[in-house]
Structure 1
């Protein structure tokens, strides 16, 4: 009996902590930061800003070529894009900077081209490092979910189709909070 009570308390506490941690991210509930991606590929436009996505959900999926988890999830993200076409737009944001030198890393372009071919994904991508710096993004995946009005609804490490269905139905899914280099 005591084990059951302790187990229920632990599950209750961890579930509550997960729900609260998402609300604590500094971007959540705020207007999407203003930006312009000037090098966008596999999309109808070569450069985009948040205004281009008003009226639909936007998933900004920040990743780098050293993030195995990011790459592994791309087929599922591609499926999510197809499932919610017209309501949701996924935009990968590939890191072009270098954490170790001051020279840009241009190899991600060829790297993503190989991923598209090998994994049969057709997700648009913006090549950028400015937003990584502006948002202090360190560990990836780092996913920003923006609603049709341009308000950030989540900053997470992953989003699945059932999570997106919750958003579309007006429910807030419990998602793992992503943290940036500042711990926010």
Structure 2
């Protein structure tokens, strides 16, 4: 679950150092990075917000891949380290007075990332590592299936594929639920629950909400999470999808209202969200089979309001040869609040009248394909 965080930091001052690049003059939180193949590129530290909007805290140039951010904070929060122009990021949490170390490879930051420095970050790193391993495994299954499908040999593999894929996702779900239930009040649960279906795990979300409110009574992130939990269980299904108008990948305006009369799959994503990128082949499959007079996909990228990130968005679309509507919502101003987007990817299915008829973490992968197939094929 890109996702559900917001914070206010106090102050920051820039200072250089002889041996290793450092950012702030003084502070109570230290974040060290050691990134292979960085090649004198800049590294950015951001505060991950509850809403898709983020707060950029500092930018420094690594010295032989190493550097240190030092900042002042009065609360527990989530942060991100990323390299402008590169895909992926390293996410972690930190308390005041923590010393955090993040490592990785500049060319594959998310896949290679490691977090250390506090017991809770070590647990969070183990969780992220498990989720990454599950994604790599399920991706490999999908590649084998697609290869067989191209040769019309996939029919014999369908049952085996569904069993292996389903078992892997079930194990991931068990791992995550055990992670959060061992300590419902740990702050990292705000990140962990992003991989759980909010509809199937309502009691877990409510338990975490209650425990976090008890442990972090004045934390703005937790207060915001509480308000989101309340809003989640007043379902959007059956309501009219709010209209929006954004620029597409060709620089032309596109409005949701342009697609009335069709079923629409809304795909809210982010360039730093690996699960979003991994969903692209499935979206291509859905568009190829069902796109046309009855159905269309609209992918809304909610990301930073800067040219560099928009270039990454364009390169991703070029790399994967996306052939459906792509629009960019800088800072999430047009859609994030209206659609209550708290994690990525988020997908919603609209009927031809523009009403939301399905939404949730289950609208992904093979399930998304079957949902659209049942709507379009039998309409």
Same fold by TM (over 0.5)? yes
Q: Is residue 2:238 matched to residue 1:29?
A: yes
Unpaired segments ≥5 residues, structure 1: 1-16, 98-103, 172-184
Q: How many Å separate the matches in 2 of 1:125 and 1:108?
A: 15
Q: CA RMSD in A?
A: 2.7
Return the offset for 1:55: 0.9
Return the offset for 1:123: 2.9
Equivalence for 1:165: 373
> SS state of the match for residue 126, structure 1?
strand
Higher relative contact order (CA 8 A, sep 6+): 1
Return the offset for 1:154: 1.3
Q: How many Å separate the matches in 1 of 2:273 and 2:324?
A: 17
Equivalence for 2:355: 151
Equivalence for 1:55: 261
CA contact (8 A) 1:25 1:155 kept: no
CA contact (8 A) 2:290 2:376 kept: no
**TM-score, with length taken from structure 1:** 0.67
CA contact (8 A) 2:291 2:297 kept: no
How many residue pairs get aligned? The number is 144
Q: Is residue 2:283 matched to residue 1:77?
A: yes
Select 1:125's aligned residue among 323, 326, 329. Answer: 326
**TM-score, with length taken from structure 2:** 0.35
Larger Rg: 2
Return the offset for 1:24: 5.1
CA contact (8 A) 2:241 2:350 kept: yes
Select 2:248's aligned residue among 14, 18, 40. Answer: 40
**Per residue, is there more strand in 1 or in 2?**
2
Return the offset for 1:156: 2.3
Equivalence for 1:182: none
